[in-house]
Structure formats: structure tokens, C-alpha cells
Amino acid sequence: MSNLTATSFFSRWLEVLFNYRKHTGSWAWILHRITGLGLTLYIMIHIIALTGLLKGETAFNEEMALFKSPIFLFGEWLLGALVMFHSLNGVRIALVDFGNGARFHKEILTFVYILGVLMVTGMAYLIFLH
Amino acid sequence: MRTYKFYGSRNTGAKYWYMQRISGIILVIVLIGHYVLMHATPDAGHTYRAVLERMHSPFWKGIDLTFVTLGLWHGLNGTWNVFRDYTLKPWLSNLIQILLILLGLTFWFIGLNTILKF
């Protein structure tokens, strides 16, 4: 145990992770987890960013102008994709837990992916071309 | 036997499981409104004046408070759920929980400070 370095621990963890057979639900679980952690980080950044309101009108408007730059718009789209997957899959989880969703959870997941891709494409139109 | 029922914990976690779903459902509903207003309609106003005007109304204040509170709680409880999937020593488990609570309280107060200033 003492010679187990952080690197070998991490590679062992990855080995275990990749050797499990993934079914449809496993991928949904992995994506839900990654997007969830990303969104938690984002809400904190969002809270910090909006403290710009306390710095007065010019400072806040300059900050908003920065968020209109192409790189931030791309980030907004990426964020939209995370939000879209997490909320659609979250609705699926609620249906499985509270409704009769366990019988149709794979079909709902297909619906989540199709609707998600459509909505994220629509978002790209609104963000980049509108 | 009773003590070992939930891995030695007195807490079943059922309450938190339930609250995670309820907060998630509320967040989805509020988020639809947020997206339509802030992202789908560029004319909605992202300037200082427009934001302040919204911030002065109790309705938007309520929406923002809901967002900050439920969003942080849902996110950090979700983060704790990730840690819970791994076998943790009791001291590490307690340390992570304390850090997550402190993180949540810090950002909650920063958020409240911004919302309630106007």
C-alpha cells in the first residue's frame, strides 16, 4: 500500500473504469455526472461574474461586452449543451423514480439524445446567427 | 444488525435523494424561463440599467434567490453524491462534507449580497 503512488492509483482506477461493460444507462450516468460537476463549477463562476453589478455601470457593461466575444459565445453554446443534456436526462431520472419510466428508460434516453441534439442545434442558430 | 443497515450510518439518505429530485424539477422549470429570456431573446437587455430594473422587482429577486439557493444546493449535493460512491475513511468523508458546506455557504452569501444590494 505504501508504494502505491498517486499515478498508479489513477491508472488502476481508469483500468477498472474502462473494463466495465457499459450499457445505455451507464453512459447516461457517466454523462449526467460529468455535466453535473461542470455545471456546479459554472454556477460558482456565474455568481462571481455577476458581482460585477456591484462595481457600477461602466464596469458591468464592459464585462457584458466581453461575454459577447466569439470565444464566450462558443462557451455559452457548450454550456447550453451541458444544461440541455443534464436537464433532459434529469427529467428521465424523475420519470424513472416517480413515474413508470423504468419500463421505458431506454426509449426515453433515445428521446433525450434526439431532442437534445435538435435543441442544441437550435441553440447554435440562436447564439451564432440570430 | 440495526447499526450496519446503512453502512453504519443513521442516515438513510432518502431525504436527500428526494430533495435532489424536487430541486432538480424546480430548476428545470425556472431554467426554461431563464433561457428564453437571457439567451433566446438578445433584446431582453443585458445592460446595467436593464438588469437593475429587473433586480428591483420582487418577482425577479425571488427567481434569482431560488436559482442561487437551489442551484448551489443541487450542485453541491450532487458533488457529495459522487464522493459517496467511493469508500472513504470517516475523517475524509467528514472533511469533504464540511468543505462542500463551506463552499456552498460562501457562494450563497456572495450571491445573496449581489441580489439583495439593489
Map out the domains of chain A as residue ranges.
22-129
Specify which of A3-12, A15-24, B40-49 reaches the highest per-range mean pLDDT. Answer: A15-24
Q: Mean of the per-residue pLDDT values for chain B? A: 86
Alpha carbon distance A37, A34 (integer Å)? 5
Distances from the Cα of A127 to the Cα of A80, A84, B22, angstroms? 10, 15, 30
CB contact under 8 A, A61 and B48: yes
For residue B6, pLDDT beyond 50? yes
CATH number corresponding to B13-116: 1.20.1300.10
Q: Which residue of A has its CA nearest to B39?
A: A127
CB contact under 8 A, A36 and B78: yes
For residue B12, pLDDT beyond 80? no
Q: Which residue of A has its CA nearest to B114?
A: A51
Closest CA to A60 of B38, B46, B44, B115: B46
Closest CA to B31 of B66, B73, B4: B66
* pLDDT for res B29: 93
Complex prediction ipTM: 0.85
Query: What are the sequence ranges of the domains in chain B?
Result: 13-116
Q: How many of the other CB atoms lie within 10 Å of CB of A114?
A: 11
* pLDDT for res A81: 94
* Phi then psi dihedrals of residue A23, to 5 deg: -100, 180
Percent of chain B with pLDDT over 90: 47
* DSSP3 helix / strand / coil % (chain A, rounded to 5): 90, 0, 10
Mean pLDDT of B12-41: 87
Sign of torsion over alpha carbons B66, B69, B75, B78: negative
CB contact under 8 A, B117 and A54: yes
Closest CA to A90 of B109, B25, B84: B25
For residue B2, pLDDT beyond 60? no
Residue among A57, A94, A130 minimizing CB distance to B24:
A94
Secondary element (H or E) of residue B102: helix B90-116
Measure in Å the smallest separation between the Cα of B8 and chain A Cα atoms: 25
CATH number corresponding to A22-129: 1.20.1300.10
Measure in Å the smallest separation between the Cα of A103 and chain B Cα atoms: 19
